[in-house]
Structure 1
Amino acid sequence: MTHTPVSLESPGSLQSLGRVHFIGIGGVGMSAVARIMVSRGVPVSGSDAKDLPVMHDLAKAGAGISVGYDASNLGDAQTIVAGSAIREDNPELAAARAQGLPVLHRSQALAATMAGHRVVTVAGTHGKSTTTSMVAVLLKEAGLDPTFAIGANVPALGVNAAHGSSDIFVAEADESDGSFLNYCPLIAVVTNVEADHLDHYGTAEAVFASFDSFAALLPADGVLLACADDAGARALAGRTAAKGTTRVLTYGTADDADIRLSDDGPGRVSVTVDGANHGLDLQVPGRHNALNAAAAFGVALELGVDPEVAAAALGHFTGASRRFELKGQAKGVRVYDDYAHHPTEVRAALSAARSVARQNKVHVLFQPHLFSRTREFAAEFAEALDLADTALVLDIYPAREDPIPGVTSALIADKLSKGRLVSQEEAVAAVAGVAGEGDVVLTVGAGDVTAYGPLIVEQLDG
């Protein structure tokens, strides 16, 4: 769904929004914006199809909450915020259109809360939530108390969004629908740039062009912090530097990276900046998380945090919800859950699982997300899943899409060397049946596969 951008009387002014109603307020991104607005005294109401725990939190904070969609839920709202999954025939959205109320995309509403802040945005095809979480935890531990909005709950923070006392605002910037172009960052992190969300962009070239536009949002005194280990992000850094409109810094293991990451042995990494080396004691596994930590470290330095304070603060980050999150263990088997829904992300998650399992086996239960993504990347998904000792594939989670003829999970499963399709009914028993003591089980995907982890633990325990 595409919302028509609106011009506010005072762009970025929360006061100009009046009473704000969120359609789909239970979503992790929508609830983040609502939480910040409530904290700042904005009159907020919202609805969702399901009664979700976050809605109870918002109600306690002062928001008016309704379960189920009905035109009457709008009440006397003056501005509407609609989630990306809301269809045009939604009764509340239809009523808002009929009344001529301004309808904002979530990113526009979030941008309105950023006014007057030094904004740090984290973009990239993968790793946004984890890196944003790392930045927020680091800055909070360093005493800067930022406002933050993240697309995942963060155990170390207790929530996915909060209003802070400083003038720093840290936000995840979602490129999936181009909405990351609604922000005005001072510091922009780009973790990687790959072809994805082709249902929106159409071509890989259009994806790359959108990141060029994102980098162009930076002011002359801003900085682009791009990953030197990713070809797409490195190319973006080169193009942006050539324009000379803003500073560009890189991070990664490459020798020419401004923030150079080094592997110092099992569980130990360090970063070198301006000739000085700083050890990082990370609690999250995987090379991709070490790169994310290097990015967070770079952001902290740009905001004036002492390097040693920044390095120590990173040790307090224990992960983000659905990002290699431990769901439990039984009979010596550890069960993790990960939001990975692109081949590169699946590969990174399985690499992290392999580092945790060591000499033992890794078993993955994968649920493809979107018919279009399955069609575009079936071979790449199969190649990534073959890193596991056992790969079981569920039916596609459609999310916002209608089925595409001929596109099923078999496109992936038929290419696996050691895996197969599995039904919802047999999935839990199938995974538990192959897992032995010391093994790691990973449920992977952006859909409801996350619910299988606790069930697998229960099955193993039983």
Structure 2
Amino acid sequence: MAATPPPPPAVPAMNSPHFIGIGGAGMSGIAKILTQRGARVAGSDARESGTVQALRALGATVHIGHDAGHLADDADCVVVSSAIREDNPELAAARARGVPVVHRSDALAALMADRRAIAVAGTHGKTTTTSMLAVALRALGLEPGYAIGGDLDVPGSNAEHGGGPWFVAEADESDRSFHAYAPEVAVILNAELDHHANYASLEEIYQSFEVFTGRIRPGGTLVINADHEGTRELTARLRRAARPDPAIVTYGADPAADVRVVSVVPKGLTSEVSVAMADRELTFTVSVPGRHYAHNAAAALAAGVAAGVPAEKLASALAAYTGVARRLQPKGEAAGVRVIDSYAHHPTEMTADLEAVRDCAPGGGRVLVVFQPHLYSRTRELGAEMGRSLALADASVVLDIYPAREDPLPGVTSALITDAARRAGADVRPEPDRDAVPELVAGMAAPGDLVLTMGAGDVTELGPRILERLAGVPARTTGSEE
């Protein structure tokens, strides 16, 4: 681990940047911050969305669809994510014209370079933990800058320039882009094998996180989970290296953790969390259910304290967090049935969210899941585990795989999940027709039940339609373009 992290890659001026896929969770946040800093932001996205509209309201120029003609003559750089393919016409035009191409992570690193950065990494929980910390710091009047992977309350609320010294950001390991950051405080929530297109083994995951910890600024702090097998391995490796930096602070239920989660008491869709640290015990409310989210709050508390925020004030301020879009987000209730939306798409996340909502379901009420697998590569490697996770529900409907950036893989279908779920004793049925799901689920549900729409794709759009059918509104179709 290097004593002094190397500087981030040089980034050209971003006075007139063009974003390809500007409506994406990570890209839109950077675009928003640049507009707040006075840049003339332009870009394109595949379709209209609330996020696109919010960017336009800030003054950004956003085109729908991808075309070389969208790239303005005065664009001084083009910002892309790993999801943008080389044959994208706007990217091809930029390369032909010699316009610098900047990866999203390098753009974000440049925005954080003059701030005291807190970077939150891990296979699961990054968006929630980053959001909790950003909201708490904001509630304390510290005006943090932040960039997170989900909206706090309304579209476009996933980022803010902020006027204070701190900047809180998600650190995405999926494509190793978090190696661009040099935080003062880093958080690692967990480390599991995922993103199989980029990592061939768990050892590669460990090596990637070790590089990330080597990027922590001299005198900085690493906050790391004491309970998770992967993070315990990382902690052991770092301690064997016997480097003076970074300082290591552990959190979790482990009796030896520096920030120890003493208890998590479910209270409907909230939890009362008690943690012990140093010579004190603090109790505060977390406005999302489940032990998984309570531990995210403990990580946020540990990171904020490492940054110098008084523990008592930060614990109280964490109550200001009321959730983030798609992280066990209540969508409404109709005919006595509640609908909640979950972004969970990895078996560990699926299990955590199913256990959390089980505690929220009224006595006798069932938990019904509409699950949409995300990525062919993930389904190939983890489909059996996903199926076993669905056995925690009373009944599940499984959609076809949401491909996102991937092309189909031979033999990889949702049947890998449904077959494993049935072997685990689950009541599960496949449904390739997304438009048929609202009617199907409305027919399955009874008063007192809870419906969970789950997955990282467009399954989120089904929640409102299920509520409509429960309320007796006639069925509608969306068309194949969705």
Structure 1 residue 408 corresponds to structure 2 residue 417: no
Corresponding position of 1:3: none
Whether the 8 Å CA contact 1:220–1:247 is kept in 2: the answer is no
Residue type of the alignment partner of 2:352: A
Corresponding position of 2:95: 97
Structure 1 residue 388 corresponds to structure 2 residue 386: no
SS of residue paired to 1:395:
coil
Deviation of 1:110 after TM superposition, in Å, equals 0.8
Deviation of 1:53 after TM superposition, in Å, equals 2.3
Greater mean deviation of Cα atoms: 248-257 or 60-69: 60-69
Greater mean deviation of Cα atoms: 217-226 or 239-248: 239-248
Query: How far apart, in 1, do the equivalents of 2:159 and 2:119 lie?
Result: 14
Q: Is the alpha carbon distance of 1:14 and 1:402 closer, same or farther for their aligned partners in structure 2, counting shifts above 3 Å?
A: closer
**1:381-428 Cα distance to aligned partner (Å, 9 max, x none):** 111110000011111111111111111101110122221212324322
Corresponding position of 1:444: 454
Query: How far apart, in 1, do the equivalents of 2:204 and 2:272 lie?
Result: 38
Corresponding position of 1:369: 374
Greater mean deviation of Cα atoms: 430-439 or 157-166: 157-166
SS of residue paired to 2:441:
helix
**Residues 122-161 of structure 1 mapped to structure 2, 5 A cutoff:** 122-155=120-153, 159-161=157-159
Whether the 8 Å CA contact 2:11–2:102 is kept in 1: the answer is no
Q: Give the structure-2-normalised TM-score.
A: 0.91
Corresponding position of 2:246: 246
Query: How far apart, in 1, do the equivalents of 2:440 and 2:262 lie?
Result: 39
Residue in structure 2 matching 1:453, options 446, 458, 463: 463
Corresponding position of 2:292: 288
Structure 1 residue 318 corresponds to structure 2 residue 316: no
SS of residue paired to 1:392:
strand
Gaps of at least 5 residues in structure 1 are 1-9
What is the aligned residue count?
A: 453
**Residues 4-43 of structure 1 mapped to structure 2, 5 A cutoff:** 16-43=13-40
Q: Is the alpha carbon distance of 1:157 and 1:222 closer, same or farther for their aligned partners in structure 2, counting shifts above 3 Å?
A: farther
Query: How far apart, in 2, do the equivalents of 1:196 and 1:146 lie?
Result: 30
Structure 1 residue 422 corresponds to structure 2 residue 431: yes
SS of residue paired to 2:162:
coil
**1:146-176 Cα distance to aligned partner (Å, 9 max, x none):** 0000010012997000111111110011111
Query: How far apart, in 1, do the equivalents of 2:175 and 2:388 lie?
Result: 27
Deviation of 1:12 after TM superposition, in Å, equals 7.2
Gaps of at least 5 residues in structure 2 are 1-6, 473-482
Q: Percent identity?
A: 50
Corresponding position of 1:6: none
**1:114-172 Cα distance to aligned partner (Å, 9 max, x none):** 12100000010000000000010011111211000001001299700011111111001
Instruction: Report the aligned-residue RMSD.
Output: 1.7
**1:315-360 Cα distance to aligned partner (Å, 9 max, x none):** 1111110000111111111100111110001001101110110532
Whether the 8 Å CA contact 2:261–2:275 is kept in 1: the answer is yes
Structure 1 residue 265 corresponds to structure 2 residue 265: yes
Query: How far apart, in 1, do the equivalents of 2:53 and 2:417 lie?
Result: 39
Residue type of the alignment partner of 2:262: S
Structure 1 residue 69 corresponds to structure 2 residue 59: no
Q: Is the alpha carbon distance of 1:143 and 1:15 closer, same or farther for their aligned partners in structure 2, counting shifts above 3 Å?
A: farther
SS of residue paired to 2:183:
coil
Q: Give the structure-1-normalised TM-score.
A: 0.95
Corresponding position of 1:224: 222
Query: How far apart, in 2, do the equivalents of 1:373 and 1:326 lie?
Result: 27
**1:12-54 Cα distance to aligned partner (Å, 9 max, x none):** 7877334211111111211100000111112221111212222
Structure 1 residue 334 corresponds to structure 2 residue 331: no
Whether the 8 Å CA contact 1:14–1:42 is kept in 2: the answer is no
Corresponding position of 2:480: none
